[in-house]
Amino acid sequence: MGEALATEFPYVAELYEEIGRRAGVDLPSTFFGDGAPSLHDDLPAQVGVFAVSVAALEVLAAEYDVRPHASAGYSLGTYAAYVAAGALDRWAALDVLLEAQRLLESHGAPGSMGYVIGMTRAPLEELLRGISPDPAVLGIGNANAAQQFIVTGEASSVRRAIASAANVALRADLLPSRWPMHSPALLPVCERLARFVDGLPVRAPRPGNLWAPMTGSPVSGAEEATRVLSWQIATPSRWETVVRSLAEERPTRFAEVGPGDVLSKLVRWTVRTARAAVLEDPLSIAAFAAGAEPGAPAAAGDAERA
C-alpha cells in the first residue's frame, strides 16, 4: 500500500516518513511488502489511507500538473479531501484525523456498523424503526447508492437489523467497526472535536471545489468548512447525492485517490456512464494524467478503509 509511489518518487518517501513521525506509525514497516498484522488497526489504517491519498494528489500535481476540480471525502477520507481542496494544509488535516481518533478512543460510544445491498431506503428505514426509533441507537449512517446503505448504531441493534435485512436484501453483513460512525451517538466526540478544529486555519474552498457528504452539497465559506470538519463523523452521509450532483454538474472524470477501489465501484453503480479511475500507484496515475489536460475537471474521492 503506497510502496510503489515511495519507490518512484523520493518526495513521497519523505512525506510518508514525516506523516509517520507525527502520527507515531512506521508506515513502511506497517504497509510495505506483506504488511504487518497491525495494518488493519484503526490508527495505522486511517493514517495509511490518508498518507497514500495525499501522496497520490501530490504526484498528480507535481508530475502532471493535474488537480481536482472538485473533491469529496468518504467518512474519515474527508481529511484528505480538505487537503485536495486547499481548505487545510496536510499537517493540519493530519492533526484533525489524529485528534478524532484520540477522542473516539477516550469518549466514543462503542457500537457497530453493517452494510445492506439490494434494498431501497423506505423499507430499510421501516425495518430499522421497528427495532429502535432512536437514530442514536440505530439508523442509516451512509447512503452509498440507491440500494446500498451502511447501518450504524448500538452493537446489538445493528446485529438485529443486519440479521433481519439478510432475509429480504441481496446482501447484508456486519462490518469490522468498533464505533457507530455517522451516528448521533458520537455527538459528544464532535463537541470536543469542534473545540479543537476552531483553533485551526481552515480556509474557504473555491466555490464548488469541496463537497460535503453530510450535507450532500458544496461547502461554502470557511465557517461551513469548519462546521463540516467538526461534525461530519456524527452526521449521516449522503454519498450517493454527492456523486450524482457531481456527475450532473458537468462532464466529470472521477478518480479514487488512494488505496482500494470501493468508491470507484460506487461511482459506477450510481452513474452507469461515469468513468472512474483508481489512482494508487505511478502507472495508474500516469495513465489517468495522459487522458486529462492540465487542470481538467476531476472529482477526487478519498476512501476510509474499514
In whole angstroms, how large is the CA radius of gyration of the chain?
A: 18
| Mean pLDDT of all residues belonging to the chain | 92
Task: Extract the C-alpha cell encoding 24.
Answer: 507515531
Virtual CA dihedral for 302, 5, 63, 295, nearest 10 degrees? -10
Q: What digits encode the pLDDT tens for the residues 184-215?
A: 999 999 999 999 999 999 999 998 899 999 99
- What is the model's pLDDT at position 292? 57
Beta bridge mates, 114: 151, 174
Q: Is the pLDDT of residue 300 over 90?
A: no
In angstroms, the Cα distances linking 22 to 38, 101, 107, 226 are: 18, 14, 22, 22
Task: Extract the C-alpha cell encoding 126.
Answer: 421501516
Strands 70-73 and 275-279, by their bridges, are unpaired
Q: Return the number of other C-beta atoms located less than 10 Å from residue 241's C-beta.
A: 16
Task: Extract the C-alpha cell encoding 169.
Answer: 436484501
May I ask the CATH architecture of the domain 3-107+186-302?
Answer: 3-Layer(aba) Sandwich (3.40)
Q: What digits encode the pLDDT tens for the residues 107-163?
A: 999 999 999 999 999 999 999 999 999 999 999 999 999 999 999 999 999 999 999
- How far is C-alpha 77 from the chain's CA centre? 3
Virtual CA dihedral for 80, 85, 88, 91, nearest 10 degrees? 40
Query: What is the pLDDT confidence band of residue 42, given thresholds at 50, 70 and 90?
Result: confident
* Number of alpha carbons in the 13 Å side-chain half-sphere of residue 217: 4
User: Does the domain at residues 112-177 carry the CATH identifier 3.40.30.110?
Assistant: no
**Whole-model pTM?**
0.92
Per domain, the residue ranges of the chain are 3-107+186-302, 112-177
Q: Which helix (H) or strand (E) holds 211?
A: strand 210-212
